[in-house]
């Protein structure tokens, strides 16, 4: 199970790298979405460590999966999609105004105004 955490960490760091290094705003939004996916995967993997059976009433003594992290991550997925859509809408408005997606060029044009 350690390989899961390492791969999720690599995915998160890939998103962080893209967020810090890329100058293109669309690529920054995608990097943020990658980070969001990595966090969701981490919570799902850690939540499944508790047990391996669905939380359905039965008389057997088995280890059930905790449904709370899964429900919270379902909410996080919806919030992540909404944040991505809002960020892309803002990027589109910036492109309409400054005719560029480069962060440095947008800053330069905004300072010239």
Task: List pLDDT tens digits, range 32-76.
Answer: 999 999 999 998 888 777 777 776 766 677 777 777 888 899 999
Q: How confident is the model at residue 31 (pLDDT cuts 50, 70, 90)?
A: very high
Tokens standing for residue 12: 């998160």
> Burial of 28 by CB count in 10 Å (0-12 exposed, 13-18 middle, 19+ buried)?
buried
d(CA 43, CA 63): 18
User: Cα 22 to the chain's mean position, in Å?
Assistant: 17
| Residue (of 37, 14, 8, 105) closest to 97 by Cα position | 105
d(CA 1, CA 19): 28
pLDDT, residue 63, reads 73
Task: Give pTM, 2 decimals.
Answer: 0.85
pLDDT, residue 58, reads 64
Q: Which domains, ranges and CATH numbers included, belong to the chain?
A: 2-55+66-112 (1.10.287.3510)
Query: Average pLDDT, whole number, for the chain?
Result: 90
């Amino acid at each position: 199970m350690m390989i899961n955490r390492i791969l999720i960490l690599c995915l998160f760091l890939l998103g962080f790298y893209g967020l810090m290094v890329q100058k293109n705003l669309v690529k920054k939004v995608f990097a943020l979405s990658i980070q969001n996916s990595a966090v969701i995967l981490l919570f799902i993997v850690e939540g499944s460590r508790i047990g391996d059976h669905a939380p359905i009433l039965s008389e057997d003594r088995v280890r059930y999966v905790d449904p709370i992290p899964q429900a919270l991550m379902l909410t996080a997925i919806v919030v992540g999609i909404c944040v991505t859509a809002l960020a892309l809408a803002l990027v589109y408005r910036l492109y309409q105004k400054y005719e560029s997606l480069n962060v440095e060029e947008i800053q330069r044009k905004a300072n010239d105004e």
